[in-house]
Amino acid sequence: MMKRAISFLLACLITSAACAETITVAVAISLKDALSKLAAQYQAATGERVEFTFGSSGQLATQIANGAPIDLFISAASKQVDDLAKAGVIDDKTRRVIAGNALVLIVPPDSKSPSESVKALVRGEVTRIAVGEPRSVPAGQYAVQALKAAGVADAVKEKLVLGTNVRQVLDYVQRGEVSAGLVYATDARIAGEKVRVVCTIEEKDHEPIIYPAALVKASKRQAAATRFLDFLVSEKGQAGLKEFGFTPPPVQSNQQAK
């Protein structure tokens, strides 16, 4: 009887392991800390593993378009998902917005430069300003929009130092290699006392900062990827994102995505 029970348990464990899947998710790097923790919780609860490829949304979109084996894409802006949808690479019907964010102006903690606002970046004391590469980094795109809204884009053009992703911009500021930088509020929060937040950019000064996600059509694990995406927009997933400073996705964004 005992042998039968042990055999049954082993069979269940083997079946469970066989059914558990591993998906690969390409994710905007600003979500790295939050999603790494959430994926660990998800695996503990379901047995399904999530592996990540982190980078700028533009770089990741290019990799996916070139056939990288990705099951789910989570961008920091709509443009990259829109482009992949037009190219027929992702399934636009699966698009969901999982979170929102804000843009902030930061300086090194011991900075004495008068960068109390975006408009103040034109002053001579501000010599270098880090932003993401606008062509591939959504945070850089939002930053350029903020500079234009403040009327200083042309005046500070020669001061810009372009980062390959938002975390590199954050690193430039933390090391004191630039006078100021524009990053997401969540990145500044992770940096803690290594940077000082000067101000939060008003929402009207840039496009809404959202994180749209969608399944890749070529994925052979779409059901598993859908389960993870459902988890991210669930109450538990949203609580985990909120813990890292992300804001809830705008209701209208998901309504439009459906």
> Measured between alpha carbons, how far is 103 from 209 in angstroms, rounded to an integer?
8
Report the predicted TM-score, pTM, of the whole model to 2 decimal places. Answer: 0.87
Q: Which of 205, 224, 240 is the last residue of a domain?
A: 205
- Residue 96, pLDDT > 50, answer yes
Let me know if residue 59 belongs to a domain: yes
Let me know if residue 39 belongs to a domain: yes
- Residue 154: partners with Cβ closer than 8 Å, 6 or more residues away: none
Residues 96 and 218 reside in one and the same domain: yes
Tokens read off for 8:
């049954």
Three-class DSSP category at 58:
helix
What pLDDT shows up at residue 14?
Answer: 40
What pLDDT shows up at residue 250?
Answer: 79
Let me know if residue 15 belongs to a domain: no
Mean pLDDT of the 151-158 span: 97
Q: What is the CATH number of the domain that holds 112?
A: 3.40.190.10
**Where in the sequence is the domain holding 174, given as residue range(s)?**
103-205
pLDDT top residue among 252 and 241: 241
pLDDT tens track for 200-217 = 999 999 999 999 999 999
Residues 158 and 188 reside in one and the same domain: yes
Query: Token pair 């902030």 is at which residue?
Result: 104
Let me know if residue 16 belongs to a domain: no
Please tell me the total count of domains within the chain.
2
What pLDDT shows up at residue 251?
Answer: 66
Let me know if residue 94 belongs to a domain: yes
> Measured between alpha carbons, how far is 150 from 65 in angstroms, rounded to an integer?
35
What pLDDT shows up at residue 116?
Answer: 78
- Residue 12, pLDDT > 60, answer no
- Residue 67: partners with Cβ closer than 8 Å, 6 or more residues away: 218
pLDDT tens track for 238-249 = 999 999 999 998
* Type of residue at 229: L
Query: Token pair 């459902």 is at which residue?
Result: 230
Let me know if residue 4 belongs to a domain: no
Residues 88 and 57 reside in one and the same domain: yes
Residues 54 and 124 reside in one and the same domain: no
pLDDT tens track for 115-145 = 679 999 999 999 999 999 999 999 999 999 9
